[in-house]
Amino acid sequence: MTVNGWIQIALFAVLIIALTKPVGYYMTRVFAGERTFLSPILRPVERVVYAICGVDESDEQHWVTYAIAMAFFSLAGFVVLYLIQRLQGVLPFNPQGQSAVEQSLAFNTSVSFVTNTNWQSYVPETTMSYLTQMAGLTVHNFVSAATGIALAVALIRGFSRRSAQSIGNFWIDLTRCTLYILLPISIVVGLFFVWQGMPQNLNAYTTVTTLEGAKQVIAQGPVASQEVIKMMGTNGGGFFNTNSAHPFENPNALTNLVEMLLIFSLGAPLTNVFGRMVGNQRQGWAIFAVMGLLFLTGVTTVYHYEAGGNPAFAALHVDQTASALQAGGNMEGKDVRFGIANSSLFVTATTDASCGAVNTMHDSLMPLAGLVPIVNIMLGEIIFGGVGSGLYGMLIFAILAVFIAGLMVGRTPEYLGKKIDAKEVKMAMLAILILPFSILGFSALATVLPAGLAGPANAGPHGFSEILYAYTSATGNNGSAFAGISANTPFFNSTLGLAMFIGRFLMITPMLAIAGSLAAKKIVPASAGTFPTDTGLFVGLLIGVILITGGLIYFPAVALGPIVEHLAMNAGTLY
């Protein structure tokens, strides 16, 4: 680890803190339906969208209606995306002549992008036409992110409203988020990305003759426009197979910094939106503190093990020491322009959030560095998190934390003036338990079936980690991978598709039920017996609840993978 490396990590943290308040202010205005500086241009467009779709702006929805609207919209998106992939061979914008995507792969990809997962069983540059990338995948990069944010805002309304039957209107939240937040930032930052070297064209791939006389085919395409929303929407589906490691998706250290900032650029401010909407910004900062501390723990762990390098190289006369001339460390699966510090930061951020973009091959991380992304996703990606899903995931843990605090002192738990009753706690437990049900269930299935055991590329405990990572990533709607696994098979495409569906929709439903139930409650004024939820004590309690819950559920599984691999590696065992 170097001083410069720590300065780069600190710079990232400071920039995230700096943008939380102003972006949070802007987002709060957007979701309250107030005027913003973009309203003169966007308000007319917004009106046209409502007119075409038959949306009444004064209409407010019950939580069940809100959930149904979200479900139908996701279903319609799934069908359209599936059809585009199956028909891409006869549709325009296909200079490489890509043929129709195979059925189980098209199913997997459609679920993947609709659920904001962006797990990729395919190699994009040899599979997808430009039309599929733009009108199929890019669209879901926008709307699945907008859906997540809309859901989080709906839950916040549950806390902030009193004796109300409704939690907002899904169509309005979706449209305003896309038009006022995602699109303007995408245009500005996307052009910046082109300036920095990302391609943005519709040309066929370029064939060149290299200096040594070999033929090299350079894949091209409308990269920048997809890259920006891929990061900001915590989608993570690369335009190319190696994602943000590919020089066209991440040309230099500056684009890398901006991409990492984009991952948290909406998730961190959403904590401030939360604080503003419930009338006390300190409530938002308490949640931010929990996320920030867990983030720093993760990045420190990854950086420590990656900077240490691979002990098996030590006897081979390889120089892994950091110096002025090289970053050193474990460089397998890393690009030189990012080195160790920026790779460690990216690994942590992309799995704290449900992003899943990678600038490093996670499969080649040192065992305990590779444990961090797995644990980040297992905890529910609540560390700033997927846009929207991170905040609602964290608030579910907060409900659990106040419930446990209430049990300890023998009082009915309250959170933000709302009494937390049996119904909310049951729904919160349902939302928390659905993830291990899918992650552990499918992993166990894959490790006993021949079709599952055919997947891993690495032998020994690392092979098990590849399977565990796959179902963790799919269920958590992350999309990153220990990518050695051969997942483009009917078995993996279908089970991973199911895992993505379960992880998204079976978690959302109890969460919306909580939102609806809370909105209907009165607000109880704080009394001397109220447990304050904007203090260091609450921050510590919430971190404890998250880690104890996660540890109890997942420790046996991760012990069989990364932890045993670490011990074997130190004993000099190879597989």
Partner 1 sequence: MLKQIRPAILMIVVMTVITGLAYPLGMTGLAQVLFPHQANGSLIERDGKVIGSSLIGQNFTSDKYFYGRLSATSEPDPKDPTKTIAVPYAADNSTGSNLGPTSKALIQRVQADTARLQKQNPSVPVPVDLVTTSASGLDPDITPAAAYFQVPRVAKARDIPEADLKALVAAHIEGRLLGIIGEPHVNVLQLNLALDALKKS
Binding to partner 1 in span 109-128, by CB under 8 A:
123, 125-126
List of residues 6+ apart from 520 with CB closer than 8 A: 163, 164, 165
CA-wise closest residue to 396 among 520, 512, 529? 512
The amino acid at 60? E
Q: How far is the CB of 456 from partner 1 (least distance, A)?
A: 10
Token pair 């971190």 is found at 543
Contact call for residue 317 and partner 1 (CB under 8 A): yes
Within 8 A by CB and 6+ apart from 188, the residues are none
428 Cβ contact partners less than 8 Å away, ≥ 6 residues apart: 396, 397, 399, 400, 403, 510, 514
Site for partner 1 in 240-299 (CB under 8 A): 240-242, 245-248, 251-254, 256-257
Which of these ranges, 270-278, 323-331, 434-442, 511-519, lies near partner 1 under the rule CB under 8 A? 323-331
Of the pair 110, 271, the CB lying nearest partner 1 is at 110
Nearer to partner 1, 309 or 406 (CB): 309
Between residues 191 and 524, which has the closer beta carbon with respect to partner 1? 191
- Shortest Cβ distance from residue 222 to partner 1 (Å)? 5
Q: How far apart are CA 124 and CA 207, in angstroms?
A: 18
Residues within window 394-453 making contact with partner 1, judged by CB under 8 A: none
CB closer to partner 1 out of 131 and 287? 131
Does the footprint of partner 1 cover residue 363 (CB under 8 A)? yes
Please say whether the beta carbons of 200 and 225 come within 8 A: yes
Smallest separation (angstroms) from partner 1 to the CB of 253:
2
- Bridge pairing between strands 418-419 and 206-209: unpaired
> Quick check: 6 binds partner 1 (CB under 8 A)?
no
When asked if residue 505 is in the footprint of partner 1 (CB under 8 A), the reply is: no
* H or E segment and range at residue 441: helix 422-448
> Please, are residues 251 and 368 in contact by the beta-carbon 8 Å criterion?
no
Residues facing 222 on adjacent strands = 200
Stretch of residues binding partner 1 (CB under 8 A), selected from 152-160, 321-329, 375-383, 471-479: 321-329
Q: Which is nearer to partner 1, 276 or 462 (CB)?
A: 462
State the amino acid at position 222 in one-letter form: P
Binding residues with partner 1: total (CB under 8 A): 135
Query: Tokens for 549?
Result: 């819950």
Can residue 80 be called a binding residue for partner 1 (CB under 8 A)?
yes
Among candidates 220, 247, 299, which has minimal Cα distance to 13? 299
Rg for the chain (alpha carbons), in Å?
A: 23
Q: Which of 263, 270, 278, 361 binds partner 1 (CB under 8 A)?
A: 361
Q: Measured between alpha carbons, how far is 411 from 538 in angstroms, rounded to an integer?
A: 16
Part of the chain binding partner 1 (CB under 8 A), chosen from 75-83, 158-166, 264-272, 377-385: 75-83
Q: Which of 95, 441, 484, 490 binds partner 1 (CB under 8 A)?
A: 484
Binding residues for partner 1 restricted to 179-238, rule: CB under 8 A: 179, 182-183, 186-187, 190-191, 194-203, 205-206, 208-212, 214, 216-220, 222, 224-226, 229
Residue 325 Cβ, how far from partner 1 at the closest point, in Å?
4
Note whether 333 binds partner 1 by CB under 8 A.
yes
Q: What is the dihedral of CA 525, 527, 533, 535, to 10 degrees?
A: 130
Residue type, 441: G
In angstroms, what is the minimal distance from the CB of 322 to partner 1? 10
Q: How far apart are CA 153 and CA 550, in angstroms?
A: 26
Closest by CA to 477, choosing from 305, 356, 329, is: 356
Comparing CB distances to partner 1, the nearer of 317 and 410 is: 317
| Binds partner 1 (CB under 8 A): choice among 58, 90, 97, 324 | 324
Contacts of residue 504, Cβ cutoff 8 Å, sequence gap at least 6: 115, 116, 117, 477
Answer for the pair 286, 534: CB distance below 8 angstroms, yes or no. Answer: yes
Across 103-256, the runs of DSSP E, i.e. the strands, are: 206-209, 215-218
Q: Tell me, residue by residue from 33 to 72, as one string, x for binding to partner 1 by CB under 8 A and - for no binding.
A: ------------x---x--xxxx---------x--xx--x
Among positions 9, 153, 156, 174, the unique one binding partner 1 when judged by CB under 8 A: 174
d(CA 509, CA 159): 17
165 binds partner 1 (CB under 8 A): no
Question: Measured from the CB of residue 7, what is the shortest distance to partner 1 in angstroms?
Answer: 6
Which CB atom, from 492 or from 531, has the smaller least distance to partner 1?
492
The b-or-e profile of 49-88 (16+ CB within 10 A means b, else e) is beeeeebeeeeebbbebbbebbeebbeebbebbbebbbeb
Is the CB of 371 or the CB of 432 nearer to partner 1?
Answer: 371
Give the Cα separation of 111 and 120 in Å (integer).
Answer: 11
- Residue from 41, 408, 457, 526 in contact with partner 1 (CB under 8 A): 457
Exactly one of 276, 334, 418, 504 binds partner 1 (CB under 8 A); that residue is 334
CB of 217 to partner 1, least distance (A): 4
Q: Minimum distance between the CB of residue 166 and partner 1, rounded to whole angstroms?
A: 14
CB 209 → partner 1: shortest distance, Å?
Answer: 7
183 or 560: CB nearest partner 1: 183
Nearer of residues 80 and 296 to partner 1, judged by Cβ:
80
How far is the C-alpha of 174 from the C-alpha of 162, rounded, in Å? 23
User: Between residues 342 and 533, which has the closer beta carbon with respect to partner 1?
Assistant: 342
**In the bound complex, what is the minimum distance in angstroms from residue 408's beta carbon to partner 1?**
42
Name which of residues 518 to 557 contact partner 1 (CB under 8 A): none
Binds partner 1 by CB under 8 A, chosen from 109, 129, 364, 376? 364
Residue whose CB is less far from partner 1, 42 or 395: 42
Q: How many CB atoms lie within 10 A of CB 419?
A: 15
